[in-house]
Amino acid sequence: MTPDAPALSLEEVRFRWPGRASFGLSVPGFRVAPGESVLLIGESGSGKSTLLSLICGIVTAEAGQVCVGGTDIAALRAGARDRFRAERIGVIFQQFNLLPYASVTDNILLPLRFAPERRRRVADARAESARLCAALGLAEDIPGTAAGRLSVGQQQRVAVARALIGEPPLIVADEPTSALDAATQDSFLGLLFGQVAATGSSLLMVSHDERLGGRFDRVVPLAEIARAERRAA
């Protein structure tokens, strides 16, 4: 990774879902600096998920460049892209983040299985996972329990620990607070920001909720950077 490169940059990106000609997305230009936290505001259906899929390299753009830490994702082969995602990006979903049958610790350690570099940055993976759990306010007996038995709020915090372990440079969160009530939302964001600041990662969060904006370096309406194209089907 080039040190000065932005954590994320999209240039002249055009994308259309294969087989679904009715919907496409174009992003003329968008950047996230290293260590920066950005909140993208967008209603559902505005292309949030498509944008995140592009950033994570699940789908590739027809034209333009999607660079994470200076690397053009589209230039990588499929297998390398999966590995790249594991190494560089921590992902937090809206809900159902965890494998319900696996223990909390196994869930947190899972990305390290596919990311040897992240694995190397962690001296003792289990200790690190326990440390993250503690830092995120999870009780001591949590790591051993099956993830499916936790409350939604606990699960989202475990998802944060999993995204952060091994310090990936970019954290991508897709409406991580939408399943939480207002009080839990606030404490969750507090913990998330605390840990993201501690690792120095960039944070890109997508949400429809503008009230979350206060903690972020930048709040960007999705409509400003991306244009969803919809044709009458």
Partner 1 sequence: MILRLAIGSLLARALTVGMTVLAIALSVALFLGVEKVRTGAKASFADTISGTDLIVGARSGSVQLLLYSVFRIGNATNNVTWESYRDIATRPEVDWIVPISLGDSHRQFRVMGTTPAFFEHYKYRGGRSLGLSGGHGLKDLYDAVIGAEVAETLGYEVGDPIVVSHGLASFTDHDDQPFRVAGIVARTGTPVDRTVIVSLEAIEAIHVDWRSGAKIPGRTTPVEQIRQMDLTPQAVTAALVGVKSRLQVFGLQRWINEYPEEPLLAVLPGVALQELWQIVGVAETALLAVSAMVVVTALLGMMAMIFSSLNERRREMAIWRAMGARPATILGLLVLEAALMAAAGAVLGLGLLYGGLVIAQPLVDSAFGLWLPIGWPDGRELAVLGGVIVAAGIVSLLPALRAYRLSLADGMMVRI
The nearest distance, CB 228 to partner 1, in angstroms, is 15
When asked if residue 111 is in the footprint of partner 1 (CB under 8 A), the reply is yes
When asked if residue 52 is in the footprint of partner 1 (CB under 8 A), the reply is yes
Q: Is 19 exposed, middle or buried (0-12, 13-18, 19+ CB in 10 A)?
A: exposed
User: Are the CB atoms for 5 and 28 separated by under 8 Å?
Assistant: no
When asked if residue 228 is in the footprint of partner 1 (CB under 8 A), the reply is no
**Structural tokens at position 47:** 């292309």
The nearest distance, CB 98 to partner 1, in angstroms, is 7
Site for partner 1 in 117-146 (CB under 8 A): 146
The nearest distance, CB 87 to partner 1, in angstroms, is 7
When asked if residue 76 is in the footprint of partner 1 (CB under 8 A), the reply is no
Residues near 77 by beta carbon (within 8 Å), at least 6 away in sequence: none
Spatial distance between the Cα atoms of 110 and 101, rounded to a whole number of angstroms: 13
When asked if residue 82 is in the footprint of partner 1 (CB under 8 A), the reply is yes
Spatial distance between the Cα atoms of 104 and 37, rounded to a whole number of angstroms: 27
- Amino acid present at 88: R
When asked if residue 93 is in the footprint of partner 1 (CB under 8 A), the reply is yes
Q: Which of 33, 58, 76, 219 binds partner 1 (CB under 8 A)?
A: 58
**Angle, vertex CA 218, rays to CA 185 and CA 221, nearest 5:** 85
User: Are the CB atoms for 97 and 178 separated by under 8 Å?
Assistant: no
When asked if residue 152 is in the footprint of partner 1 (CB under 8 A), the reply is no
**Nearer to partner 1 among residue 65 and residue 103 (C-beta):** 103
When asked if residue 184 is in the footprint of partner 1 (CB under 8 A), the reply is no
When asked if residue 192 is in the footprint of partner 1 (CB under 8 A), the reply is no
Spatial distance between the Cα atoms of 53 and 154, rounded to a whole number of angstroms: 25
When asked if residue 98 is in the footprint of partner 1 (CB under 8 A), the reply is yes
**Nearer to partner 1 among residue 86 and residue 142 (C-beta):** 86
Distances (CA, A) of 66 to 27, 61, 228, 233: 10, 8, 17, 28
When asked if residue 32 is in the footprint of partner 1 (CB under 8 A), the reply is no
- Amino acid present at 80: A
Q: Which residues bind partner 1 (CB under 8 A)?
A: 49, 52-53, 56, 58-59, 78-79, 82-83, 85-87, 91, 93, 96-103, 106, 109-111, 113-115, 146, 148, 162
